[in-house]
């Protein structure tokens, strides 16, 4: 803010902490209330409390269980997302630019789209077992549709004048594609990626929970499976809450990372 | 014109009974944008097109650019029918068509980097050319800005610089100076004539089609002014402008300048009044 000529009152130096305070006041109040409520319960209760959850978080982190599960889950999300990115980008570009491809594929896409990722889980487990391939396919499936639809939409809405202008400058078709159509559609591609990553993360947790149930607490791994074990075997409510919070924080970080990438990549336009 | 008579057989551009009708995709509604356009433009000629809004000026420009095909009639360049767009005919669009993700410099250099105009030029030559045209349109200091950070007049100058940097043989310009302030406009009119080749022998000049709403601008720039009318769009009259070249500030004081301006105005007055009801 040091170089802004006329700082507006709401973002002045003093009021920055104030906005942060406003953002954390309510969660803090709820935490305190929760802790007070838990302290009023009998000593041998299973009910989670903020203090116990924090202790659980430290224990799981130091033991290495939580980091390992997190790495497994994130690895699957990234891999599944990349599969969806390749498929969604190429199909979305083709469907957005080529009429007959769109006419041919739209009915199939539209009939699969309403089927929730969890609904293909039974088939995924039957064909791919309870390991990583099944989880990957669910993640890729979940990430595919937001990508496909946004890329298709973005590419078909590129201002035709921009393409015509390139043609009057003798720009060859492939180069027009990479230097006009793709950058013009970039905001939609990034938006699609962000939404896809969000649903991929949601899907992986659910998939690991379900795959974990089927594997009977076996070695499928990941945060979701960890939650299942806490639920079905050790009945560790504090551990479940730790996992929930970690899942939420990771989702938030993913979203922030993609928004940051959008700001950098979508040059020359107001970031959405 | 006797020296040109040998070339008269094949003019640079020739319109023969050109008509363009648009058919709305869903409703099937037909709009006859222009009809019965016949015109020959010699190589090295500067032709201005004036006429009320909606008379088909941009339509004709798109046909020459090869971005659209006539419904009937033919347009030939150097005797051959126009088959599609090409970098030999540079276009400056009425709404600029700048690339919003590129800076001013990158927009101006877009054709040099990605199209045929840059072929055979080294990196240094391209950069020098971009810098030259940045300065010509007075955008020094704004090279690294993006189009959304520019005023309308600045965007227009970027589009003009991009057209000129590509160095096309035929210049197609759709109201290229319309958004500029009066002073910049006068300066760029003179610059444009210089780039077109006003001081060069006729054979070395480019061929220019320049659409404008400004009658004085048309008379100042043109070898001939094409006056169009509406309902449907067609050529009303073609006026030769025999003012001496190079044209400069003094040209506007020439009594013939005033007479020609008056003549063009009288030709479009009725249409213009009709257009505003
Ligand atoms: N793609 C299109 N589809 C349907 N009608 C069109 C299309 N393009 C132009 N027209 C119609 O053709 C006519 C001529 O349009 P054009 O844009 O050539 O006018 P203009 O002389 O350039 O006008 P202005 O001075 O306002 O730019 C108008 O009636 C317009 O509505
Ligand atoms: Mg127009």
The tokens describing A171, both together, are 């720009």
Contact A164 B97 (CB under 8 A): yes
Contact B101 A267 (CB under 8 A): yes
For B115, the closest chain A residue by CA position comes to A171
CB-based contact (8 Å) between A99 and chain B?
no
- Which among B259, B242, B247 is positioned nearest to B194, based on CA atoms? B247
Question: What residues of chain A lie within 8 A of the CB of B90, using their CB?
Answer: 168-169
CATH 3.40.50.300 maps onto chain B at 3-88+169-275
- Best residue among B59, B210, B227 to mutate for probing ligand 1, ranked by most atoms within 8 Å of CB: B59
Find the B60 Cα to ligand 2 centroid distance in Å. 9
* Alpha-helical runs (H) found in A64-159: 65-97, 99-112, 121-128, 132-156
User: Which of A165, A186, A269 is closest, CB to CB, to B97?
Assistant: A165
Ligand at shortest distance from the CA of B229? 1
Contact B87 A169 (CB under 8 A): yes
Looking at residue A3, its pLDDT comes to: 47
- Tell me yes or no: is domain B3-88+169-275 CATH 3.20.20.70: no
Length of chain B: 277
Looking at residue A12, its pLDDT comes to: 55
Ligand at shortest distance from the CA of B174? 2
Shortest-distance Cα residue to atom 7 of ligand 1: B22
Looking at residue B275, its pLDDT comes to: 65
Q: What is the 3-state secondary structure (H, E, C) of chain B?
A: CCHHHHHHHCCCEEEEEEEEEEECCCCCCEEEEEEEEEEEECCCCEEEEECCCCCCHHHHHHHHHCCCCCCEEEEEECCEECCCCCCCEEEECCCCCCCCCCCHHHHHCHHHHHCHHHCCCCHHHHHHHHHHHHHHCCCCCCCCCCHHHCCHHHHHHHHHHHHHHCCCCEEEEECCCCCCCHHHHHHHHHHHHHHHCCCCCHHHCCEEEEECCCHHHHHHHCCEEEEEECCCEEEEEEEECCCCCCCCHHHHHCHHHHHHHHHHHHHHHHHHHHHCC
List, chain by chain if needed, residues with CB within 6 Å of any ligand 1 atom.
Answer: B 22, 31, 33, 53-59, 94, 233
Instruction: State the pTM of this model.
Output: 0.81
> How high is the mean pLDDT in each 10-residue block of chain A (272 residues)?
47 67 87 88 82 88 88 91 94 91 90 85 82 85 94 93 95 94 92 93 86 60 84 83 91 91 75 38
Shortest-distance Cα residue to atom 11 of ligand 1: B33
Q: Which of A99, A161, A164, A168 to mutate to test the interface with B (most CBs of B within 10 A)?
A: A168
Q: What is the 8-class DSSP label of residue A10? A: G
Ligand at shortest distance from the CA of B231? 1
Question: What residues of chain A lie within 8 A of the CB of B93, using their CB?
Answer: 161, 164-165
The CATH class of A51-271 is: mainly alpha
Contact B86 A168 (CB under 8 A): yes
Question: Looking at CA atoms only, how far is residue A174 from chain B in angstroms?
Answer: 11
Question: What residues of chain B lie within 8 A of the CB of A162, using their CB?
Answer: 97, 99
Looking at residue B20, its pLDDT comes to: 96
Ranges of residues in chain B with a pLDDT under 50 are 1-7
ipTM of the complex: 0.87
Looking at residue A38, its pLDDT comes to: 86
Domain definitions of chain A by residue range: 51-271
Instruction: From the CA of B213, give the closest atom in ligand 1.
Output: 25
């Amino acid at each position: 803010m040091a170089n802004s000529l006329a700082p507006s009152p709401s973002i002045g130096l003093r009021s920055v902490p104030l906005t942060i305070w406003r953002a954390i006041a309510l969660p803090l109040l709820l935490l305190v209330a929760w802790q007070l409520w838990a302290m009023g319960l009998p000593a041998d209760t299973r009910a989670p409390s903020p203090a116990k959850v924090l202790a659980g978080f430290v224990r799981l982190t130091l033991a290495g269980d939580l980091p390992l599960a997190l790495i497994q889950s994130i690895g699957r999300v990234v891999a599944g997302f990349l599969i969806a990115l390749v498929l969604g980008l190429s199909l979305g570009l083709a469907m957005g630019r080529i009429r007959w491809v769109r006419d041919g594929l739209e009915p199939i896409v539209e009939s699969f789209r309403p089927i929730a990722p969890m609904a293909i889980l039974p088939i995924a487990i039957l064909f791919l077992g309870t390991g990583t391939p099944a989880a990957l396919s669910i993640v890729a499936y979940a990430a595919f549709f937001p990508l496909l639809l946004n890329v298709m939409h973005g590419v078909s809405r590129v201002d035709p004048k921009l393409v015509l202008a390139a043609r009057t400058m003798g720009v060859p078709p492939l180069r027009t594609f990479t230097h006009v159509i793709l950058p013009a559609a970039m905001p939609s591609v990034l938006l699609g990626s962000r939404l896809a990553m969000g649903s991929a993360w949601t899907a992986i947790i659910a998939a690991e929970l379900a795959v974990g149930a089927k594997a009977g607490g076996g070695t499928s791994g990941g945060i979701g499976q960890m939650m299942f074990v806490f639920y079905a075997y050790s009945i560790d409510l504090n551990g479940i809450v730790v996992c929930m919070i970690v899942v939420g924080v990771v989702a938030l970080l993913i979203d922030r990372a993609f928004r940051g990438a959008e700001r950098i990549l979508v040059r020359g336009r107001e970031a959405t | 014109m006797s020296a040109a008579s040998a070339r008269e057989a094949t003019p640079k551009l020739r319109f023969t009974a050109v008509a363009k009708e648009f058919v709305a995709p869903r409703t099937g509604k037909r709009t006859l944008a222009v009809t019965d356009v016949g015109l020959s433009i010699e190589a090295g000629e500067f032709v201005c097109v004036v006429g009320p809004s909606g008379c088909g000026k941009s339509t004709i420009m798109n046909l020459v650019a090869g971005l659209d095909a006539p419904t009937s009639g033919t347009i030939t360049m150097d005797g051959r029918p126009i088959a599609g767009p090409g970098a030999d005919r540079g276009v400056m669009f009425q709404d600029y068509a700048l690339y919003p993700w590129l800076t001013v410099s990158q927009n101006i250099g877009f054709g040099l980097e990605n199209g045929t105009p840059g072929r055979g030029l080294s990196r240094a030559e391209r950069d020098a050319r971009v810098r030259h045209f940045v300065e010509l349109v007075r955008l020094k200091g704004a090279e690294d800005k993006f189009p959304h950070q520019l005023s309308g007049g600045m965007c227009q100058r970027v589009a003009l610089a991009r057209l000129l940097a590509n160095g096309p043989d035929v210049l197609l310009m759709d109201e290229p100076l319309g958004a500029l302030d009066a002073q910049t406009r006068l300066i760029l009119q003179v610059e444009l004539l210089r780039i077109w080749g006003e001081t060069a022998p006729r054979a070395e000049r480019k061929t220019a089609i320049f659409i404008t709403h400004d009658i004085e601008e048309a008379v100042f720039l043109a070898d001939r002014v094409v006056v169009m009318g509406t309902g449907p769009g067609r050529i009303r009259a073609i006026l030769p402008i025999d003012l001496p070249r190079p044209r400069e500030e003094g040209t506007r004081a020439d009594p013939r300048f005033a007479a020609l301006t008056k003549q063009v105005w009288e030709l479009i007055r009725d249409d213009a009044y009709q257009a505003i009801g």
